[in-house]
């Protein structure tokens, strides 16, 4: 297996894009980004200070438009197929040139961030976008770089051109949108989709490549800690299966709601924020998440609201079933403050089996756990991907196949090592 080196070309593209811009706004704070977004008409302010936006035609991820660049140094490691479609370096250069030409002479927003709470595994990320609210999203979901630390050469650069529409086959892609990851150069290029989740999941895909090659198990999961016992629980599951709801428990401390990594020392959150489904969110059933829908610093994506009162209508799915709220972890009451949490005592596989094939709950042996982890029998829920309007049975290895850059057996072997070393109990919950 080829061990991934830190990318070397990411600084070059960042400099090219920034040098050609008409104006560049670097590392603006949340209040200033609010002001810019309102002035530019990117969204509206709601009660309590949330900022509501619409992502346009694409209200979920576009998995058929995701590509990994097939460079010689990574091709033997990547799990090529429907989730990781190969793109030639020539095609990528063509699309990159088109994106750079599109962004030239535009007003741009730059955010320097890091991902991974554990400093031993952190990577720096520079996000360059044409929208203030997408810069705010990056600042919310990732971890803002410390003000005193200069990010001279980021490990990853996201070039985000949501309103550049490509020419499909003429540009070597499948539609007018693309999410292209050049992991050797450390470049993520997103065009044709304003759905903010594409940025988050593209970085997660990159981390799912880099971390396992360092012996770290990356997880599509939520996690929390019991403050009385110090015991950690991890919740695996596809998007929309309940990870955020179950992990945001008023009796426990939230580590994170979607992306984690498990090392020899414990478990840590890859992100700095949450990206929760908010459709039909209940104040009584989910009070902590509900409260964020009325907090300054939260972005509500594709949520309908009352024009007069500016109250969000969380029951309205007229735009999409996949309404989302992006909020920083510090808006929640019960958050785990340390960088690394203890090893999980319980691992829970959320199957979200919409057709009742699996039992409501079952305790699994390690062998059974690995079988279910690799097969990933579950459901795609409405709205999480473009074109998915009702639950669909699917097999999603690692409970996150769209984001797994390596062969699922790589993650399974690491999971087996962690389960044996820690004695964590594994549960299947439907």
148 is catalytic: no
- CB proximity list for 86: less than 8 A, separation 6 or greater: 67, 68, 69, 70, 75, 80
184 catalytic per annotation: no
Nearest to 45 by CA among 107, 163, 133, 134: 133
Q: Which neighbouring-strand residues pair with 350?
A: 429
- Check 66, 96, 243, 260 and give the catalytic one: 243
Q: Which of these is catalytic: 135, 258, 263, 298? A: 258
Residue from 55, 91, 232, 244 carrying the catalytic annotation: 244
The answer to whether 262 touches 219, Cβ cutoff 8 Å, is yes
SS3 368: helix
CA distances for 278 relative to 52, 119, 203, 283, angstroms: 13, 31, 23, 11
* Alpha carbons 202 and 328: distance in angstroms, whole number: 19
Q: Decide if 289 contacts 325 (C-beta within 8 A).
A: yes
Catalytic: which of 134, 220, 252, 372? 220
Active-site hit among 50, 58, 59, 61: 61
- Active-site annotation holder among 59, 129, 135, 239: 239
Catalytic option among 252, 277, 324, 380: 324
CA distance 95 to 348: 41
Judge whether 220 counts as a catalytic residue: yes
Cα angle 277, 280, 282; round to 5: 100
Task: Concatenate the DSSP letters of all residues of 150-184 into one string.
Answer: --SS-SEEEEEETT----GGGGTSSSS-EEEEETT
The DSSP call for residue 342 is P
- Asked about 221 being catalytic, the answer comes back as no
Q: Which of 201, 252, 372, 418 is catalytic?
A: 201
**d(C-alpha 243, C-alpha 257), whole Å:** 6
Is residue 239 annotated as part of the catalytic site, yes or no? yes
Scanning 22-170, the segments in alpha helix (DSSP H) are 30-39, 89-103, 132-141
Active site residue 55: no
Residues annotated as part of the active site: 61, 201, 220, 239, 243-244, 258, 324
């Amino acid at each position: 297996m080829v061990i991934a080196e830190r990318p070397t070309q990411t600084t070059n593209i960042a400099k090219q894009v920034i040098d050609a811009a008409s104006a560049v706004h670097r590392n603006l704070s949340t209040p200033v980004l609010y002001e810019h977004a309102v002035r530019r008409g990117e969204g509206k302010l709601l009660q309590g200070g949330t900022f509501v936006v619409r992502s346009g035609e694409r209200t979920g991820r576009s998995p058929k438009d995701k590509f990994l660049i097939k460079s010689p140094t990574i091709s033997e490691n990547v799990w090529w197929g429907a989730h990781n479609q190969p793109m030639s370096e020539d095609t990528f250069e063509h699309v990159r040139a088109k994106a750079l030409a599109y962004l030239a002479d535009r007003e741009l927003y730059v955010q320097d961030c890091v991902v991974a709470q554990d400093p031993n595994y952190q990577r720096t990320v520079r996000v360059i976008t044409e929208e203030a609210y997408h810069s705010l999203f990056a600042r919310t979901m990732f971890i803002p770089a410390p003000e005193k630390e200069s990010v001279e050469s980021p490990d990853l650069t996201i070039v985000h051109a949501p309103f550049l529409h490509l020419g499909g086959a003429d540009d070597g892609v499948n539609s007018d949108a693309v999410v292209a990851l050049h992991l050797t150069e450390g470049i993520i290029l997103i065009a044709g989709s304003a759905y903010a989740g594409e940025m988050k999941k593209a970085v997660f895909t990159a981390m799912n490549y880099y971390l396992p090659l360092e012996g770290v198990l990356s997880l599509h999961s939520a996690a929390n800690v019991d403050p009385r016992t110090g015991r950690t629980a991890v919740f695996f599951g596809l998007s929309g299966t309940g990870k955020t709801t179950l992990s945001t428990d008023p009796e426990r401390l939230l580590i994170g709601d979607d992306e984690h990594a498990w090392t020899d020392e414990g478990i840590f959150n890859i992100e700095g924020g949450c990206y929760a489904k908010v459709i039909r969110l209940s104040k009584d059933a989910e009070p902590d998440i509900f409260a964020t829908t009325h907090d300054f610093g939260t972005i509500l994506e594709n949520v309908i609201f009352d024009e007069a009162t500016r109250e969000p209508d969380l029951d309205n799915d007229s735009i999409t079933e996949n309404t989302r709220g992006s909020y920083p972890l510090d808006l929640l009451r019960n958050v785990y403050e340390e960088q690394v949490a203890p090893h999980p005592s319980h691992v829970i596989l959320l199957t979200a089996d919409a057709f009742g094939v699996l039992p409501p709950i079952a305790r699994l042996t390690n062998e059974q756990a690995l079988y279910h982890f690799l097969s990933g029998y579950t459901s795609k829920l409405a709205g999480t991907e473009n074109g998915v309007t009702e639950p669909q049975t699917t097999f999603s290895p690692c409970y996150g196949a769209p984001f797994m850059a390596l062969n699922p057996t790589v993650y399974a072997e690491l999971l087996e090592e962690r389960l044996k070393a820690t004695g964590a109990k594994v549960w299947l919950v439907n």
